[in-house]
Amino acid sequence: MHAPTKPGPFGIIAEYESPETLIAAANTALDQGYTRMDAFTPFPVHGLPEAIGFREAKVPWIIFVMGVMGGFGGLALQWWVSVHAYPLNVGGRPLFSWPSFVPPAFETTILFAAFGAVFGMIGLNRLPQPHHPVFDAPNFDRASQDRFFLLIEAKDPRYAADETRSTLEGTGAVQVTVLGQEEESDW
């Protein structure tokens, strides 16, 4: 039987007092080759997504694909009902009278796109997530008030605890904390 192993650290988080120092730190980390970074700020900071190497957003593509599926699905449903399931000749019009099918197809496009936006955002953000290791960082509750945080995850290929910590300390951080590392107890 194997002894249970302790989980390794989640990453290292640094606290900053201003958005300028946060962006400078993120640029420094990006220049040194760190790729698995995240930032937490009380308001949107211009230039921060580029500084942390944020990749292209996937939610717009999910919305587009779901909208196309909704439009074609709504049109296909109306075609199937009007031509195959319940064909009625109303006023001499053809069974597939596409101009009258446009408004419902448009509405199913909007409906599916909205579901894609909501569920795509929830899924890509990995919600609901009642607990995240960054919640254990000292002063992290101030991330919604007046502090700025930069996280470098331990999953980063360039991550080395001592080197990463010294890199963040050299960027003007108020405090640097290792996350997810349990302290040794005397028990």
Name the architecture of domain 11-56+132-179. 2-Layer Sandwich (3.30)
Are 179 and 136 within 8 A, CB to CB?
yes
- CATH 3.30.70 residue ranges in the chain? 11-56+132-179
Strand partners, 37: 152
Task: Give the pLDDT score at 89.
Answer: 87
Residue 182 has phi, psi (to 5 degrees) of -80, 140
pTM listed for this prediction: 0.76
pLDDT tens, N- to C-terminus, the chain (187 residues):
555 556 789 999 999 999 999 999 999 999 999 999 999 999 999 999 999 998 888 999 999 999 999 999 999 999 999 999 999 988 888 899 889 899 999 999 999 999 999 999 999 988 998 988 999 999 999 999 999 999 999 999 999 999 999 999 999 999 999 998 655 434 4
Instruction: Match 């064909």 to its residue by tokens.
Output: 87
- Specify the amino acid at residue 96: F
| Per-residue H/E/C for 132-187 | CHHHHCCCHHHHHCCCEEEEEECCCCCCCHHHHHHHHHCCCCCEEEEECCCCCCCC
Residue 28, φ and ψ in degrees, nearest 5: -60, -45
